[in-house]
Amino acid sequence: MPELANPTGWLPLIFMVVMGLGVLVYVVLDGYDLGVGILISLASEAEKDAMIASIGPFWDANETWLVLGIGVLLTAFPLAHGIVMGALYLPVAAMLLGLILRGVAFDFRFKAQDSHKPWWNRSFCAGSLLAALAQGYMLGLLVVGFERSARNMLFAACIGLGLAAGYCLLGAGWLLMKCDGDLQRRAVVWGRQALWLTALGIVGVSVATPLLNRQIFDKWFAVPNIFLLAPIPALTLILFIFAGVALRSLPSRFDRQSHGWDWVPFAATVAIFILAFHGLAYSLFPWIVPQRMDIWQAAAAPESLILILAGVIVVLPVNIAYTIFSYWVFRGKSRNLDYG
Amino acid sequence: MSAIVPDALIASRIQFAANITFHILFPAVSIGLAWMLMYFKFKFDRSTDAAWMDAYRFWVKVFALSFAIGVVSGVTMSFQFGTNWPGYMQTVGNIAGPLLAYEVLTAFFLEASFLGIMLFGAGRVSKRVHTLATFLVALGTTISAFWILALSSWMQTPVGFEMRGGRAHAISWPAILFSPSFPYRFTHMLLAAGLTTAFLVAGVSAWRWRLGDRRDDVRAALRSAVQLAALLIPLQIVVGDLHGLNTLDHQPAKVAAIEGLWETQRHAPAILFALPDEAAQTNRYEISIPGLASFYLKHSFNAEIHGVKEFPGAHPPVAPVFWAFRIMVGVGLLMLVVAWTALWQLRRRGEPGSLLCRVLVLMTFSGWLALAAGWYVTEIGRQPWLVYGVLRTANAVTDAPAGRVGLTLVMYLLLYAVLLVAFVSALFHMARKAGTSPQATTMNAVADPFRGDDKQSGVDNHA
């Protein structure tokens, strides 16, 4: 690690934080709309329209955070971008196929001939699932340093399933906030199933990661690290229980016309994602290509980073402000998506 | 890159070409249509003539569709830099990085965030905020074009940097941003976007007219599109010519390929038709006008023009550049004739005749053809360089196995073919539906911002 007082020392750290922020916000925001996309396979025709209406104004901006995350990797860490993307060639292609399919299906299903609509629905769902699985698979390969043994690929595939389950949980939580009536009740059922799968996924990843990667094992299970880090799994467990309790109590609350808790499962899931993200970030730091290239080795020249940083400082807060503005404009139940 | 696999190079080049060709079709429509929608909205606010609002309602759906396709195919591009061209960012990442980062920061978030309000927010925000959202989306598409054209121009005419340890380092950002070819390229592209949109709108409107759909909004859209086309095409021809002269200064090898001139010569001919033979380094079946190329390139019939043979190992393949240029110019001249004839006829008769309608329908996607051909001229014309004089394309390519690149290539080609067919078919489906249903507003439940009631739609899950 170079001298941190030096621009070549602190600039890469700042951009690692910006990249992390981009990826985390992406995972949460596009996570819920990918989740909704996966869940439409379980919904009736009318429900599909309502579910897609609930993500209509947002999905495009959500996906922009992926471009920010990948953009920082591309622009601030140009030496790593090629290595990471080369190592993930096929899963990246699969994810892009998924994102393209769902992105266009969203628009086509309203605009094309009625007889084509079921096909666009299928594309929307399959694309969402494919993107989620591919993202999890890539994360898994990153954790094991891109070594493609059968064991590692199985591990990566399991992360893919776990992440897809996590996205479904986010999606169900989103529908709880944005929809009501029967659809809201079905979202409770979906949420409860996804909650179990997500918990299973996180436990599996947390156990397998340190076993597969010696360095990560040492980082977590040394004294005093293990005591300092203990709050992460402990809080995650509490949040899971909290979300489970909330999901269990929601149907009876609906019976009483009480909707004060509709937001709880979504918020708890977001908190779980944030904690899991930090656990992973701690495991991987400071590597950008695990055990091969750290953030300082991969960074662009300081004069380029300074220029990007100026843009980030000036423009990113504005971007965040109008992202919030857009969510505020479309606040409340998505029934308000009538334009009269 | 240690191992250069020729097959992976070819496959990666075809893949990138397919990707960027498919991609550029949609941003071009988005840029042009965004400003056209602004114009419709402006006319409506000024005149309160419902025809303008109806035109807006129809075309905003086409905009949403092309914007979505533009976004998803653009995301693909940002990954392909790394998956297929790792040497690019490793060599010039210090220059390209900030430009791409600023595109994301200043354009993508702007357009993506306000798109939601533009498409779906009419009932939730004031009229003024909605117009502002439409304006910001249009502005975002144009800012995006600014950064991309700045980078693309720098790759053609790189300045303001120095090489240290095999990597480019910036010395002057203003010089990099406003590289010598930038003003021409940026203007040329924005005009191309306007023309692409004008002929798209005119073509689809003429098609509706032919079907017997002669409401005021069809008339208004058709008239606006024809006026726009008639205004832009002469400008485009002038800008294109200036761009060509700029290219002659900076990339004479490209101009030699465009002109199909193998030998350096005075009194160089303008070649109208030929089959350039790369192996024999000569043209077959050449039809040409002597001296004309010298005249329009250097304003003297006796001026010397460099031929392709002057640049051994550093000139582009001649035939594709030669032909792409002729297609672009041919379509441009056709646009001039059609646009001015149409304008004249609309002024004289007030409505288009049946032959004109037919021609306009045939010209619906002429902008796409000229756009793609023009990009081929400039991008293939830059070969064998990726960054002119700095980085060769072959040195930037991935060392991924050719089979893997071939697999994704097939996937992308199939996907793009399906999406292109789907876009065109949905476009005409929407046009037909807009014509047959008395209430055009019911055709799109979600994407129509001005729908008065949605009792019959499935969106309202409270019904």
C-beta of residue B121 within 8 angstroms of C-beta of residue B450: no
Tell me the HSE value of B132 on the side-chain side, using a 13 A CA sphere: 7
Coil, helix or strand at residue B271 = strand
Mutation target vs B (from A36, A45, A79, A89; most B CBs, 10 A cutoff): A89
The amino acid present at B254, given as its one-letter code, is K
Top-confidence residue, B151 or B292: B151
Helix or strand (DSSP H, E) at B268 = none
Q: Give the phi and the psi of residue B417 in degrees, each rounded to 5.
A: -60, -45
In angstroms, the separation between the Cα of residue A240 and the nearest Cα of chain B is 30
Task: Work out the end-to-end distance of chain A between its first and last CA atoms, rounded to an integer number of angstroms.
Answer: 59
Indicate the pLDDT class of residue B24, thresholds 50, 70 and 90.
very high
Nearest by CB to A179, which of B169, B398, B461?
Answer: B461
- Does the structure show a pLDDT above 60 at B361? yes
Structure-block tokens of residue B325: 């240029």
DSSP H or E run through B396: none
Please work out, in degrees rounded to the nearest 5, the angle formed at the alpha carbon of residue A313 by the alpha carbons of A312 and A319: 65
Give the tokens for residue A261.
């808790």
Is residue B281 pLDDT above 80, yes or no? yes
The answer, yes or no, to whether residue B440 has pLDDT greater than 70, is no
Element containing residue B281 per DSSP (H, E): none
Nearest CA in chain A to B454: A338
- H-type alpha helices, B121-274: 127-156, 173-177, 182-210, 216-250, 252-259
Is A251 a residue whose pLDDT tops 90?
Answer: no
Three-class DSSP category at B351:
coil
The pLDDT of residue B442 is above 80:
no
What is chain A's alpha carbon radius of gyration, rounded to the nearest angstrom? 21
Distance CA A56, CA A182 (A): 20
Confidence band (pLDDT; 50, 70, 90) for A1? low
Check A75 against B453: CB less than 8 A apart: no
d(C-alpha A185, C-alpha A21), whole Å: 33
**A106 vs B445, which has greater pLDDT?**
A106
- Of all residues in chain A, the percent with pLDDT exceeding 90 is 23
pLDDT at B436 (0 to 100): 74
Partner residue facing B170 (CB), from A92, A110, A304? A304
Residue B462 has pLDDT above 60, yes or no: no
Across residues A132-155, what is the average pLDDT? 89
Calculate mean pLDDT across residues A316-330: 87
Please write the tens of the pLDDT for every residue from B117-159.
888 887 788 888 888 999 999 999 999 999 999 999 999 999 9
Q: Which of A60, A108, A135 to mutate to test the interface with B (most CBs of B within 10 A)?
A: A60
CB-CB under 8 Å, B102 with A339:
no
- What is the rounded average pLDDT for all residues in chain B? 86
C-alpha A275: how far from its chain's center? 12
Chain B: closest CA distance from residue A255 (Å): 17
ipTM reported for the complex surpasses 0.95: no
| Closest to B101 (Cα-Cα) out of A103, A78, A30 | A78
- Contact residues, chain A, for B98 at CB < 8 Å: 75, 304, 307-308, 311
Residue A338: what pLDDT? Answer: 38
The pair of structure tokens assigned to A169 is 């949980």
Cα three-residue angle A330-A333-A339, rounded to 5 degrees:
55
The percentage of residues in chain B with a pLDDT greater than 90, rounded to a whole number, is 41
| DSSP designation for B353 | -
Mean pLDDT of B215-219: 88
Whether B68 and A100 lie within 8 Å, measured CB to CB: no
- Span B40-54, mean pLDDT? 86
Query: Is the pLDDT score of B322 beyond 90?
Result: yes
Q: How many C-beta neighbours within 10 Å does residue A338 have? A: 21
If you measure CA to CA, which chain A residue comes closest to B171? A303
Q: Which residues from chain B sit within 8 angstroms of residue A180, using beta carbons?
A: 461-462
For chain A, say whether B441 makes contact (Cβ under 8 Å): no
Of B83-87, B211-215, B345-349, B404-408, highest mean pLDDT: B345-349
Mean pLDDT of B193-217: 92
Tell me the C-alpha distance between B247 and B270, whole Å.
17
β partners of residue A294: A287
* Segment A259-281, tens digit of pLDDT: 888 888 899 999 999 998 888 88
Instruction: Return residues 235-264 of B near A (CB < 8 Å).
Output: none
Q: What does the domain layout of chain A look like in residue ranges?
A: 27-285
Which of A86-90, A257-261, B38-42, B348-352 reaches the highest mean pLDDT?
B38-42
Q: Does B420 touch chain A (CB under 8 A)?
A: no
Distance CA B139, CA B38 (A): 10
Instruction: Write b or e for each residue in B356-390: b if 16 or more Cβ atoms lie within 10 A of its Cβ, otherwise e.
Output: bbebbbebbbbbbbbbbbbbbbbbbbbbebbbbee
| Portion 355-414 of B in contact with A at CB < 8 A | 398-400, 404, 407-408, 411
More confidently predicted of B369 and A92: B369
CA distance B290 to B307: 15
Q: Please compute the mean of the pLDDT values over residues A185-195 and round it to a whole number.
A: 91
Q: How far is CA B343 from the centre of its chain?
A: 24
Tally of CB atoms within 10 A around A305: 26
Report the pLDDT value the prediction gives residue A255, as an integer from 0 to 100: 82
DSSP assignment string, A2-36: --TTSHHHHHHHHHHHHHHHHHHHHHHHHHHHHHH
Cβ–Cβ below 8 Å for A89 and B404: yes
Average of per-residue pLDDT across A128-155? 90
- Interface check for B5 against chain A (CB to CB < 8 A): the answer is no
Across the interface, whether the CB atoms of B96 and A319 are under 8 A apart is answered: no
Residues of chain B contacting A112 with CB distance shorter than 8 Å: 422, 425-426, 429
